[in-house]
Chains A and B, each alone.
Chain A
Amino acid sequence: MIRFFLHGLPALLIVAIAVAFFNETRLSSDKKNEMTIGSIAEPSMLNPIQQADAAASDVGGMIFNGLLKYSADLEITTDLAKSFTLSQHTTIFFDDPKTVPGAMGKLFFMRGRWADWKLTDVRQDGSSLVLTFSEPGMAASQEILGLFDAKTLIPSTIIRVDLEGKAVETLKAWRATETGARAVRDWVESDAAFEVTAVGDPAPVVKDLQDFLAGRTQKGTVTVGDVLPFLAEPIVDFTLRDDVKWHDGAPFTSADVVFTYRAIMDDAVASPRKPDFLYIQAVETPDPHTVRVVYRKPYSPALQSWMIGLLPSHLLEGKSPEWWAQNFNRNPIGTGPFKFSEWKTNEYVRLVRNPDYFGAPGPWLDSMVYRVLSDQLSLRLAFETRQIDFWGVDPWAVSEFQKDKRFDLFSYPSSSYSYVGWNLKRPIFQDERVRRALAHAVNVPEMIKYILYGYGVQSTGIFLPQMWFFNPDVKPIPYDVEKARQLLAEAGWKPGADGILTKDGQRFTFTIITNNGTEVRRDIATLIQDNFRQIGIEVKIELYEWAVFLKNFINKGDFDAMVLGWALGPDYDQYQIWHSSQNNPEQLNVVGYKNPEVDKLLVDIRQEYNRDKIIEMAGKLQSIIYKDQPYLFLFVPQGTSVLWKDSYRIRRPDGKGGWIDSPVEMTKAGWSYYSEWFYRPEYADKLPR
């Protein structure tokens, strides 16, 4: 017995491991008709309105659909919606109903200009004039307002009511009792606040509201907000596809759209997407396949927000968010090409083909596996042993893979850029010449060459080169040490005894902070330290754990300079990052950038729907901010993915009833844009001709 333990057990273990090893070397090389994608990050949950991580949106993108989506060229196109139209109602208030017909007459007289204004209809509604435009925006309405006699016009005022909960009921109750107050519009802002628009003098409405609240136990405060010359209410009309089914077989209807919207706005649901939908006044459903969304004011980025994956109302209606978290969020039902099948934490998420997909007969693959591994090295090990089919490769490994004939590589500009942010509240960074000098002193091309192994382009400001509103005329600040020295000398910085620049007895020395765990950022900091030493600037580097980095330094704005990156959606709205009002603790303008011209552009661009004008404004934004150099804009890295050569092909519909067959190809939206149409050549006989 004891001798068995002594010799037998160790021998048995050795034999077992040897046999297992032998088994591994002989594993069948036949592959399942599936694709395994490797990633370091695991989805936090699979619920489009609650998740906020990239991994979740990658996986969720296969399961859920939005009304709209990005095309392969990153333009907006339809998904669950068959089509959509934009329009706007502008309501102008007059002091007397009798003056309205005269104003209408003036407009009919100017009919020749309607096309420029995109004006399609004019009608009277009591003492107000309602204009209908085919394109939302403020410019045309303002121009028309200028035609009328200012004395006859009445502005409207927004009145905000903050409560201790139950805004919906309070608003309803007040509406029922409302007597003579001239309040034309109202909407619920959150569970504890609603807003009312009063025409003319807001005082009676305010008094009415205060009296009403005084008569209730519920406490609240009434505040008078912005005064508006007219009400501009953009409208989006969606016509939905009628051939879409949820994965459980129930039909997809407009009720699901309304449900998703309400769930996002529900304060019981912690949704990071809430701010996207704040400007909505109402979501209406005239019939099961039509949805009308009315906005309170022009906010053009709002259209993108309808790319959010929609939730099945028939499963979630009436359930608590706790129920979602434990049931739906780990076992989601969507409308997408793949159905959720299995999730093993820290291992994989498995999706299987949805045979009832509205894009049928696709997808071609039986399943998609999203495999979670611990780091870049393990991803590479898994890839080389054919355990994953694809992953996003670090730049350094790309150079190794390129030499290898067994692989196909796909490179595309990533949707992020890296930068060094200067704390503009620190005196040393307040001189624009100094910031330009610092930009001249850093050898960005070399950085790209050695940190990114050439896989990246120099960043020229806040937008990414692949976006349609990117301004190609902004040229990068070149590496020029002489120019840097000269600019610094102009700004009064002279080399001191120890070679370090000084001005008024102060040495030019500061600390760059960044988070640990991101090698690229650590390397950037190290290189910048080296670059600046050459022009006599002393830099210290400090690395912190991500949570500490944010809490102690970034959110408090307590740093000299920091290395960070922005990952951006294809969205031109960067109000939160650059507007001077966004400089408080925990807000995103952490460097303290302030430029009145930029502030105005940031507000205006949000209200602009015209593509050409957006391009123009975005271009201006980009060039002004780049000139000011609040950041030292470094580079936009290229993302690269690797596949085993010829392991997959694409067969996708050409939109005319036929099929396009091609090798896996690159699009602006990444290599995996067509992943629902991927197939394995060895299973090609399953495909339609």
Chain B
Amino acid sequence: MTTTASTASSAEVADLPLLLESPGRRMWRRFLKNPVGVTSSIVIVLFFTVALVMGICSMLGIYFPYNPNTTELTQKLLPPSAAHWLGTDNLGRDVLSRLLNGSYISLTVGFVAVAVSLFIGVTVGAISGYFGGWIDNIIMRVVDAILCFPSFFLILTAVALLGPNIMNIIVVIGLVSWTGTARLVRAEFLTLRETEYVRAAKALGIRTPGIIFRHILPNAAAPIIVTAVVGIPDAILTEAGLSFLGFGVQPPQATWGNIISDGKTYLLDAWWLIVFPGMAIFIAALAFYLAGDALRQAAESRSERK
């Protein structure tokens, strides 16, 4: 249903390219009018800034407020206080420091995994949708087959196979999550390649890559961006689940997921070990989902017309 809606809009835009502003601009304008979208984007930017700063700091060896990996056994399992705002864990490490430090890893996992899955998904979907025919047929059967893999077990075994370091986890999450994007892109391409302006471009003798990158892809950008934004929290949640089972990023490196997983044993007495990192995941994921939804609404023309 969403696909048909956005197709209609692209077609309209193509008819009146000079009278209206570009689809990207219009989407952006509408997005800025949506308070939910704006609020969640601010939250995302905040998270992103913190993660970036923490990432740079940890590369420079500067830590705030404490070194996230320094153990101080005399200070273990302390509840939140002035010295440790979010308390300490079972090895006396400062939870706030670990949370901040972990944000950089967790967001990296989210962004890079989505980048991987987008790259594969868009490429495969574009080829399938643009060329159609038997190529499309084969690719779609492969996509069907991949969707049939019990994905969580596949991730578990693949991580066990490759070894649980950050890069591998990112790649594996990316590798199993591209199928949705591929299907979406294919659907967009299937309709867009039949539009007047693509036919016109073909008639003018523009070469295939030019058509794909210059003419079709920009018009399919909106739904792709929406899947990407929604894919980020999915990847973050998957990493958290893996960490929970002990297949996540290796200690002592903190991620939101493994702070919870390390703290689960102490749960009944040290609620701060799970509540705060859980909140971080939850708020970040919520912000991404709401922003994604706002983007989607902005990209749809009908919702405005109503």
Q: Which residues of A contact B (CB under 8 A)?
A: 375-377, 380-381, 384, 394, 396, 400, 446, 449-450, 516-517, 519, 522-523, 526-527, 530, 541-545, 548
Beta-carbon contact of B269 and A400 below 8 Å: yes
Nearest B residue to A542 via CB reads B250
The answer to whether residues A377 and B265 also contact, given A527-B71, A543-B250 and a CB cut-off of 8 A, is yes
Number of contacts between A and B (CB, 8 Å)? 51
Could you list 26 A-B pairs, sorted by A, with CB under 8 Å? A375-B265, A376-B265, A377-B264, A377-B268, A380-B268, A394-B265, A396-B265, A400-B268, A449-B73, A450-B73, A450-B76, A519-B265, A522-B251, A523-B90, A526-B91, A526-B251, A527-B91, A530-B70, A530-B71, A541-B251, A543-B250, A545-B160, A545-B164, A545-B246, A548-B160, A548-B163
Residues in A with CB closer than 8 Å to B164 are: 545
**Which applies to chain A's interface (DSSP): helix, strand, loop or mixed?**
helix
The answer to whether residues A517 and B73 also contact, given A396-B265, A526-B252, A543-B251 and a CB cut-off of 8 A, is no
How far does the alpha carbon of A384 sit from the alpha carbon of B268 in the complex, in Å? 11
Residues in A with CB closer than 8 Å to B163 are: 544, 548
Q: Does B119 contact A (CB under 8 A)?
A: no
Shortest CB–CB separation between residue B168 and chain A, in angstroms? 13
Beyond A375-B264, A527-B73: 14 further Cβ-contacts under 8 Å?
Answer: A375-B265, A376-B265, A380-B268, A400-B268, A400-B269, A449-B73, A450-B73, A516-B246, A519-B262, A519-B265, A526-B91, A526-B251, A541-B251, A542-B250
Residues in A with CB closer than 8 Å to B63 are: none
How far does the alpha carbon of A412 sit from the alpha carbon of B65 in the complex, in Å? 41
Shortest CB–CB separation between residue A408 and chain B, in angstroms? 19
Interface residues of B in 207-266 (CB under 8 A from A): 246-247, 250-252, 262, 264-266
Beta-carbon contact of B266 and A396 below 8 Å: yes
How far does the alpha carbon of A530 sit from the alpha carbon of B93 in the complex, in Å? 13
How far does the alpha carbon of A542 sit from the alpha carbon of B249 in the complex, in Å? 11
Q: Does B147 contact A (CB under 8 A)?
A: no
Residues in B with CB closer than 8 Å to A376 are: 265
Q: Does B267 contact A (CB under 8 A)?
A: yes
Q: Which residues of B contact A (CB under 8 A)?
A: 70-71, 73-74, 76-77, 90-91, 160, 163-164, 246-247, 250-252, 262, 264-269
How far does the alpha carbon of A363 sit from the alpha carbon of B265 in the complex, in Å? 35
Beta-carbon contact of A446 and B73 below 8 Å: yes
Task: Return the contact of A396 from the options B73, B90, B251 (Cβ within 8 A).
Answer: B90
Shortest CB–CB separation between residue A17 and chain B, in angstroms? 23
How far does the alpha carbon of A517 sit from the alpha carbon of B244 in the complex, in Å? 11
Residues in A with CB closer than 8 Å to B269 are: 400
Residues in B with CB closer than 8 Å to A394 are: 265
Residues in A with CB closer than 8 Å to B266 are: 396
How far does the alpha carbon of A312 sit from the alpha carbon of B180 in the complex, in Å? 59
Task: Return the contact of B91 from the options A449, A517, A523 (Cβ within 8 A).
Answer: A523
Residues in B with CB closer than 8 Å to A396 are: 77, 90, 265-266
Shortest CB–CB separation between residue A446 and chain B, in angstroms? 7
Nearest A residue to B165 via CB reads A542
Residues in A with CB closer than 8 Å to B246 are: 516-517, 545
Task: Return the contact of B252 from the options A380, A541, A548 (Cβ within 8 A).
Answer: A541
Shortest CB–CB separation between residue B34 and chain A, in angstroms? 29
Shortest CB–CB separation between residue A526 and chain B, in angstroms? 6
How far does the alpha carbon of A659 sit from the alpha carbon of B277 in the complex, in Å? 56
How far does the alpha carbon of A375 sit from the alpha carbon of B90 in the complex, in Å? 17
How far does the alpha carbon of A446 sit from the alpha carbon of B71 in the complex, in Å? 13
Residues in B with CB closer than 8 Å to A519 are: 90, 262, 265
Nearest B residue to A522 via CB reads B251
How far does the alpha carbon of A446 sit from the alpha carbon of B246 in the complex, in Å? 27
Shortest CB–CB separation between residue B51 and chain A, in angstroms? 24
Nearest B residue to A443 via CB reads B73
How far does the alpha carbon of A380 sit from the alpha carbon of B264 in the complex, in Å? 12
Residues in B with CB closer than 8 Å to A375 are: 264-265
How far does the alpha carbon of A384 sit from the alpha carbon of B246 in the complex, in Å? 26
Residue of A381, A517, A530 with most partner-chain B CB within 10 A: A530
How far does the alpha carbon of A13 sit from the alpha carbon of B216 in the complex, in Å? 48
How far does the alpha carbon of A610 sit from the alpha carbon of B294 in the complex, in Å? 83
Beta-carbon contact of B267 and A377 below 8 Å: yes
Nearest B residue to A516 via CB reads B246
How far does the alpha carbon of A527 sit from the alpha carbon of B163 in the complex, in Å? 24
Nearest A residue to B268 via CB reads A380
Nearest B residue to A450 via CB reads B73
Residues in B with CB closer than 8 Å to A523 are: 90-91
Shortest CB–CB separation between residue B79 and chain A, in angstroms? 14
Nearest A residue to B70 via CB reads A530
How far does the alpha carbon of A530 sit from the alpha carbon of B73 in the complex, in Å? 11
How far does the alpha carbon of A527 sit from the alpha carbon of B76 in the complex, in Å? 13
In the A-B complex, the 9 residue pairs with the closest CB atoms: A450-B73, A516-B246, A517-B246, A400-B269, A376-B265, A530-B71, A545-B160, A377-B267, A543-B250
Nearest B residue to A453 via CB reads B76
Shortest CB–CB separation between residue B98 and chain A, in angstroms? 13
How far does the alpha carbon of A450 sit from the alpha carbon of B75 in the complex, in Å? 10
How far does the alpha carbon of A375 sit from the alpha carbon of B268 in the complex, in Å? 13
Residue of B74, B91, B160, B247 with most partner-chain A CB within 10 A: B91
Residues in A with CB closer than 8 Å to B264 are: 375, 377
Residues in A with CB closer than 8 Å to B247 are: 545
Residues in B with CB closer than 8 Å to A541 are: 251-252
How far does the alpha carbon of A253 sit from the alpha carbon of B140 in the complex, in Å? 69
Shortest CB–CB separation between residue B156 and chain A, in angstroms? 10
Residues in A with CB closer than 8 Å to B160 are: 545, 548
Nearest A residue to B247 via CB reads A545
How far does the alpha carbon of A542 sit from the alpha carbon of B91 in the complex, in Å? 18
Residues in B with CB closer than 8 Å to A517 are: 246
Residues in A with CB closer than 8 Å to B265 are: 375-377, 394, 396, 519
